[in-house]
Amino acid sequence: MAKRDPLAGKRVVVFGFGRQGQALARWLPAIGADTVVTDSRSAKDLGLRRRDYPGARFYLGGHPDEVLNGARCICVSGGVPLDLPILQDARERRIPFTNDAQLFLERCPAPVIGITGSAGKTTTTALVAAIVSKAGYKVWRGGNIGNPLIEDLPKIKAGDIVVMELSSFQLELMTASPQVAAVLNLTPNHLDRHGDFEHYAAAKANILRYQRATDVAVLGWDSPGSRAFERAVAGELLVFSQYDMAPDGAFMLGSRLLVAGSASFDMGPHVVCERDEIALRGDHNVLNVLAACAITGGMGLAIDRPGVTPEVMRESIRHFQPVAHRLETVREVAGVTWVNDSIATAPERLLAALSSYEEPLVLLIGGADKDLPWEAAIHFALRKARHIIVFGADGGKQVATKVMKLLENMRMRDDQLSRAQSLDEAVARAAEVARPGDIVLLSPGGTSYDAYEDFAARGRHFRQLVSEL
């Protein structure tokens, strides 16, 4: 007989009807919860088909006070601002907050590998899942990447392994940590949401905060931000680095990637592969691969399963291709290569993308700003790019406004800079100025919310525009 869920018969309010909210609106009624969903958008704007969510009641176009009546807990989707007046009211009523990731971790019968960081989460999560699958395990991949996972709970077995990407938006509400937790790096990001770097770092730290002495933490040693989390580690610590030879973890030795100590199948050190066997461009992706090696080599310390051998790691790494919208080659037209890096939603990601190319660049930047510093990225872009196209609307929160102000005082020729109102115009202008041998790189540095639902929608539009050239 199936065990009755603690939320069965309780009223649960879901705030936000994006991907996470939709999954909860299906799962909560299935476990017997009295499910209420609220979103500031209308049913028409959401494209809601109520028959797809039997058992859920909807309050749309706003958040009436009555949605809180009798609530046992509130599930807040990642994109919902926590300073909404009604959520302030919920705090005063002492209604606990949670989210799909927390509910999943509390119930998951299989061990969980959780991965976070300011950049590289999705690539590392996908590679870890590929390596663990190659090692013969049944793998469930999701979280902030693709599937929220909560609806998969009935199918997940104790012998499986879950690989879960976790964002700061999810982590800031969580009071549970995975058995294997990785912090890839930590640099300023999402300051428009978290207010300052300290609050952002505190949210990320929750991935480690609730670990036990038997759990494993994996930290990016080359990032001062993630390295500072060493003092928060309760269990076994593994690290990865391009520069330091770590006794426990993964590192570079010349052109070789190695695993050693607890991250090695038999303590090592052992060579995993040569750098030129990695199909992904850029030093940042070498770090992602090192992270995956440290995680999969050391996972057995926490989850009572054998770590993955270097041979299995190497085979997976050699065949791993870029994840969509991450330095993704779209096509070559008349000797010009068009690259989609729409995931670059912060200047730090733009810097990583620029560092990945030696070819002449035509760079497309724009989007909505997250209150992040742009000076270093712009100075580097001026060194690396033959031509810069700034796209998007003007406004106080727009990348275009901030970047154009920075460029005003720099001596640039007319043939070095273009201004476009939209991505359509930017692609058309890039087609005019690009020469054979150039890379046209969409690496916006800003979020997509000025014009698109998310970075993936922006990337798909870019692909479409390029396909039509």
Among 151, 19, 5, CA closest to 73: 5
Spell out where 8-108 has E strands. Answer: 11-15, 34-39, 56-60, 71-76, 97-98
pLDDT at 103 over 80: yes
Residues 87-102 have a mean pLDDT of: 95
Residues 178-194 have a mean pLDDT of: 84
Cβ-in-10-Å burial (0-12, 13-18, 19+) of 83 comes to exposed
pLDDT at 275 over 90: yes
| pLDDT score at 289 | 98
Query: Which pTM value belongs to this model?
Result: 0.86
User: Which parts of 6-99 fold into alpha helices (H)?
Assistant: 19-30, 43-46, 85-92
Cβ neighbours for 192, distance < 8 A, ≥ 6 positions apart: 369, 370, 371, 397
How far apart CA 321 and CA 382 sit, in angstroms, is 29
CA 203 to chain centre: 14
Q: What is the mean pLDDT of the chain?
A: 93
Confidence of residue 1 (pLDDT cuts 50, 70, 90): low
Residue 126 is classified by DSSP as H
Contact criterion met (CB below 8 Å) for 290 and 251:
yes
How far apart CA 413 and CA 58 sit, in angstroms, is 55
Cβ-in-10-Å burial (0-12, 13-18, 19+) of 33 comes to buried
How far apart CA 376 and CA 299 sit, in angstroms, is 37
How far apart CA 250 and CA 53 sit, in angstroms, is 45
Spell out where 334-468 has E strands. Answer: 336-340, 361-366, 385-391, 417-420, 439-445
pLDDT at 329 over 90: yes
pLDDT per position as a tens digit, 210-253: 999 999 999 999 999 999 999 999 999 999 999 988 789 999 99
pLDDT per position as a tens digit, 20-78: 999 999 999 999 999 999 999 999 999 999 999 999 999 999 999 999 999 999 999 88
Please state which of the ranges 47-51, 74-78, 302-306, 418-422 shows the lowest mean pLDDT: 302-306
How far apart CA 283 and CA 242 sit, in angstroms, is 9
| pLDDT score at 267 | 73
Contact criterion met (CB below 8 Å) for 177 and 127:
no
How far apart CA 350 and CA 381 sit, in angstroms, is 9
CA separation, residue 160 to residues 132, 141, 156, 181 (Å): 10, 11, 7, 17
pLDDT at 115 over 70: yes
Q: In sequence order, what are the beta bridge partners of 236?
A: 216
How far apart CA 388 and CA 406 sit, in angstroms, is 13
Cβ neighbours for 335, distance < 8 A, ≥ 6 positions apart: 435, 436, 437, 438
Packed helices 310-319 and 283-298: angle between N→C axes, nearest 10 degrees? 140
Burial code of 398-413, b = ≥16 C-beta within 10 A, e = fewer?
bbbbbbeeebeeeeee
